[in-house]
Amino acid sequence: MDTSWMAKGNCRDEPPSRFFPSDGVGVEVARRICATCAVKEPCLEYALDQRVDHGVWGGASERERRRILKRRRATSAGGEGREPVPTEPSGAERTSITG
């Protein structure tokens, strides 16, 4: 699998720990960095393909990636297309970074 996109990510100058947050506030911080990333889509597809369990990849939390995989499994049985890359946090995961 081609991973050359990794060198182009917005996270290249961020501490890796920022993308492995321990709470919802940390997830939101990471997602905001991912939101403008030019390689968001290949990043998400990589995490989905490799079944990466931890961290924020392609702007998607672990929980969101599990949901995407579940939906894809369901839609592949019905012959529908892929889910688009998420652009906004879901309501259930939205948290304020200001407290």
Provide the binding-site residues for ligand SF4, judged by CB under 6 A: 9-11, 19, 33-34, 37, 39-40, 43, 57-59
* β-sheet bridge partners, residue 60: 57
- Least distance CB 19 / ligand SF4 (angstroms): 5
Give the shortest CB-10-to-ligand SF4 separation in angstroms: 4
Residues forming beta bridges with residue 57, ordered by sequence position:
60
Best CA proximity match to 51, nearest among 69, 76, 28, 64: 69
User: Cβ of residue 26: shortest distance to ligand SF4, in angstroms?
Assistant: 13
Match 């100058």 to its residue by tokens.
13
